[in-house]
Structure 1
Amino acid sequence: MPMDELLLLLARKKAHIAPLRMTTAELGSLLGMSQQNASRRLSELESRGLAERTKKGIALTKKGISESHSLYSELKSVFEAEPLSLSGTITSGLGEGRYYMSLSGYKSQIRKKLGFSPFEGTLNVKLAPQEAAKKSSFLKSAEPAIIKGFSQGERTFGELYAYPCTIEGMKCALIVPLRTHHPSEIIEIISAASLKKTLGKRDGDKVRIELG
């Protein structure tokens, strides 16, 4: 639904409650346009049945009020929407996260791209089936930091995607390695400090990961 700045102005001036006594020159001045443009825009609202000029002034019609409410609801849903989140249960990992997060090839990139040096370990969270089903949409809603793969000695280490997020206000990132031994319902979280110790969590506790 396109937003009409004149419709918005009339609503702000409470033309839905009582007719607004204002000339098109005054409307144009408030909107930063000429009197002719303001008059044309008002005529367009009238032709769409959203506003009407009466002897008492300019008023929003029932249709205009309804459209204003729809615009308000749409904007409210955008700016007051709950952040995307995943919920799960903390579970023990295989200990691999500690090793991988100790490698300088990963640590230096994470520090540069995410703004923190990772604690040597990951928080493993098991998603319930309904939460695991949301995982794909959750990840598609954000632009990940790409941590490139590298070689160290005779070994090569794969690329991973890091999605900035928070847990109880603590800055962290959900990492998705291109090569992993974890099933899809297990996600790994990294942060600058031990999330378990900092948040006072243990295996079996519930956590909520918020995107962004």
Structure 2
Amino acid sequence: MPCSIESLKKLALLGAVDECIKISSSEFTEHISSSSKTAARILKKLDDENLINREIVQDGQLITVTEQGLKKLRDEYADYLRIFEKEGDIELYGYVVNGLGEGKYYINLDGYKKQFENKLNFTPYPGTLNVCLANYSKHTREKLEELPATQINGFTDGERTFGSGKCYKAIIEDIECAIILPSRSHYPSDLLEIIASVNLRKKLNLNDGDDVKILLKQNNHKYP
């Protein structure tokens, strides 16, 4: 019997990630090279494991991949990245979004600014580029913290305590930059804050909604 992950991948490729698809067991056999009975058992197993939502209708089944199913696919993809991109870069894809305007305040704090200058070897522009990751990149955002990083220490100014974070070396259109991951953040997990020595929005003529490709330097993501 074909393994669950392969069958789940087939359903995702048929569009069950973005919308509900209608398919019969006999139709599914064409995609997994198995019998109709086996296909029916596989779909039931995926449903029992909460990897898909399934509704039996008169002439087929209505199927969507669940969040748990998406996580399983992302984990599988992350494993392939580790196998085939171990010696290369990781590509992240997303689009520019408007931030909350907090980046300028935090980056200008001496406790952070001096660390950026000393550890990243550049003086950051007072502001961040905010990028919302595309669905197929979100798993990489979740895996970032497993990679070695440049540590940014927390500090206190006598009145308030500011948290720590990590930085990851990256490149956007040949401009060196750094992804910042605060240890504690109210931002959603698919949102990245990026700093550079220049105003990335202005330098790259970026507007909200514009697509962005970020190269995470896997072999050299830790600054000296």
Band of TM-score, shorter chain: 0.5 to 0.7
Q: Does 1:101 align with 2:107?
A: yes
**1:89–1:125 Cα contact (<8 Å) kept:** yes
Counterpart residue type for residue 206 of structure 1? D
**1:84–1:138 Cα contact (<8 Å) kept:** no
SS at match of 1:121: coil
Q: Does 1:110 align with 2:110?
A: no
Q: Which residue of 1 aligns with 2:151?
A: 146
Q: Which residue of 2 aligns with 1:41?
A: none
Q: CA RMSD in A?
A: 2.0
**Deviation of 1:79 (Å):** 9.2
**Deviation of 1:80 (Å):** 10
Give the structure with higher Rg (CA).
Answer: 1
**2:142–2:189 Cα contact (<8 Å) kept:** no
Q: Which residue of 2 aligns with 1:174?
A: 179
TM-score (norm: length of structure 2): 0.56
**Deviation of 1:81 (Å):** 6.2
**Deviation of 1:137 (Å):** 3.3
Stretches of structure 2 that go unaligned for 5 or more consecutive residues are: 1-82, 218-224
Stretches of structure 1 that go unaligned for 5 or more consecutive residues are: 1-76
Q: Does 1:188 align with 2:193?
A: yes
Counterpart residue type for residue 209 of structure 1? I
Distance 1:86 1:135 in 2: 8
TM-score (norm: length of structure 1): 0.60
**Deviation of 1:127 (Å):** 1.0
**Deviation of 1:134 (Å):** 2.3
Query: 1:1-212, aligned counterparts within 5 Å?
Result: 83-140=89-146, 142-212=147-217
Q: Deviation above 6 Å: which 4+ runs of structure 1?
A: 77-81
Distance 1:180 1:80 in 2: 29
Distance 1:98 1:160 in 2: 16
**Deviation of 1:129 (Å):** 2.1
Distance 1:79 1:127 in 2: 19
